[in-house]
Amino acid sequence: MEKPANQINRREFLLRSIFLSGFGAVVATLTWIFWDLWTGAHRFSSSRWVLVAPLNRFRSDGIVPFQEFKIAILRTGQKLGAISMECTHLGCLLNVVDRGFFCPCHGSDFGPLGQVYSGPATVSLPWHDIMNRGGDIWVHLGKKIAEPKWLML
């Protein structure tokens, strides 16, 4: 005996939607896992918090450069900040001089808080997030911020 056509279609439709959603969920989960892995390089790379030095390295005011991270920790008054040492012109590593920072590539000059004194750079140096964890100073290398973030001592 033939079943009515619309009933067959409905049942078939229901079955197919269940399959599709189930299968879709599987694909979604697996995609999530693989997506996470394919974009997971930040764990290996520089977009992360790094342990820079223990707190007792910064006993007096001044600038302490950390070339391997391309940052410098400056202490003024009772606060610490982490400033980027990449020249805002074309990215060369800056040198620390007694009045601030100097770029050996094209001669850009920056003040002690990263403000541009003379070009060709036009943008002042950005800062990094900084924190104290367990007596060590950690700096977040990935994200650069325009306004300084100070760590009070």
Partner 1 sequence: MKARENFFKHLHPHSIRDRTLDPLSTLGLGIVCMTCLLLLAATGLTLLLYYVPHQDVAYDRILHIMTTLRYGKVIRNLHYLAANVLIIAGILHLARVFFTAGYKGRWLNWIYGLFLLGLIFFSNYTGYLLPWDQTSYWAIKVGANLTTYFPGVGPSLKNFLLGGEEIGPETLIRCFGLHIAVLPFLWTILTSLHLWRIRKDGGLAAPEEGKPVRLPSSPSLYRAELAVGLLTLTLLFSLSLFVGAPLSDRADPLHPPNPAKAPWFFVGIQEMLSHSATLGGVVIPALIGLFLVFSPAIDRSKETGGRWFGKERLTLNLVFALIFLGQLFMIFVGQWFRTRNWGLKFPW
Partner 2 sequence: MVQGLNHRAPAWVNALLFMATFSTLCLALVLAYKGWKEDQALHHSAQEGGSEIIADIMVNLSGIPYREHCMTCHPQGKAANLPGQHMVFRNHPDIAPHSMDDLGCTGCHLGEGMAGDLIISHGRVGTEARKVLGGEDVQASCYRCHDLKPLPGAEKAWEGFQLFSMNACDTCHHVDGTAGGIYGPDLSAVGSFLSLRQIQVAINDPKADPENSIMPKFALSPGQIKAISYFLKSRMRESPHETPMEKMVKVRKQMQTTGRGTMKVPASAGDLLREKKCLACHRFQKEDGQIAPDLSYMAYMRDKNYITDFLYSPGKRIPGAIMPSINLTRQEEEWMVRSLQNRNLKDHFHKINPKHLYMMLCQRCHAAKGDGSGMIQPNLANFPRAFWKNTEFFRRIPDERIVKSIEKGVSGTSMPPYGELLGHEAIHSLVDLLFREFIRTDRRDKDLSLSLPGKPASLLPEERVQKQFIKHCSECHGRAGNGKGAQYLRYLPRPRDLTNRPFFQSVTDERIAFSIFDGVPGTAMRPFSGKISPESLWSFVFMIRELSDSHGEASKPN
Which residues of this chain interact with partner 1, rule CB under 8 A? 19, 23, 26, 33-34, 36-38, 40-41, 43-44
What DSSP line would sit under 39-92, residue for residue? TGGGGTSSSSEEEEEEGGG--SSEEEEEGGGTEEEEEETTEEEEEE-B-TTT-P
Structure-block tokens of residue 119: 């070009």
Residues ≥6 apart with Cβ < 8 Å to 153 = 78, 79, 80
- Residue in this structure with the two tokens 């060369």, named with its chain if needed: 92
CB of 81 to partner 1, least distance (A): 29
Is residue 131 near partner 2 by the rule CB under 8 A?
A: yes
Is residue 146 near partner 2 by the rule CB under 8 A?
A: no
- Residue in this structure with the two tokens 């800062």, named with its chain if needed: 127
Cα–Cα distance, 115 to 13 (Å, whole number)? 66
Q: What track of x and - describes contact with partner 2 for positions 59 through 98 (by CB under 8 A)?
A: ---------x------------------------------
Is residue 58 near partner 2 by the rule CB under 8 A?
A: no
Q: What track of x and - describes contact with partner 2 for positions 32 through 51 (by CB under 8 A)?
A: xx--------xx----xxxx
146 touches which of partner 2, partner 1, none (CB within 5 to 8 A by kind)? Answer: none
Residues paired with residue 63 on neighbouring β-strands, in sequence order: 74
Largest CA distance in the chain: 97
Q: What residue ranges bind partner 2 (CB under 8 A)?
A: 8, 12, 15, 18-19, 22-23, 25-26, 29-30, 32-33, 42-43, 48-51, 53-54, 57, 68, 129, 131, 133-136, 138, 140, 142
